[in-house]
């Protein structure tokens, strides 16, 4: 099997664009926009940073 380079940035942009289009269509159809709920257990700083990074990504969509 031959190795293949994967452009993660391009894939990410494609997925975000497709999700944004689906959310827009859903809202235009009179349905609720999807939401994000997170449950943090404990006070691990790395977990807090990870969860904090999810909000801006979701708001962009």
Q: Closest Cα partner for 61 from 9, 25, 29, 8?
A: 25
The count of structural domains within the chain is 1
Question: Where do the H-state alpha helices sit in the chain?
Answer: 8-28, 45-60
Please write the tens of the pLDDT for every residue from 33-50. Answer: 999 999 999 999 999 999
Q: Closest Cα partner for 40 from 50, 30, 32?
A: 50
How far, CA to CA in Å, does 43 sit from each of 12, 40, 46, 49, 56? 29, 8, 9, 11, 21
Whole-structure pTM value:
0.73
Residue 1 within any structural domain of the chain: no
Residue 48 within any structural domain of the chain: yes
Residue 49 within any structural domain of the chain: yes
Please write the tens of the pLDDT for every residue from 12-25. Answer: 999 999 999 999 99
Residue 20 within any structural domain of the chain: yes
pLDDT exceeds 90 at position 1: no
Find the domain containing 19 and state its range: 8-60
Residue 29 within any structural domain of the chain: yes
């Amino acid at each position: 099997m031959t190795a293949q380079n994967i452009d993660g940035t391009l894939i990410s942009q494609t997925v975000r664009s497709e999700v944004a289009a689906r959310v827009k269509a859903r809202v235009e159809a009179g349905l609720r926009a999807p939401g994000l709920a997170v449950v943090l257990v404990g006070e691990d700083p790395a977990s807090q940073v990870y969860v904090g990074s999810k909000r801006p990504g979701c708001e962009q969509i």
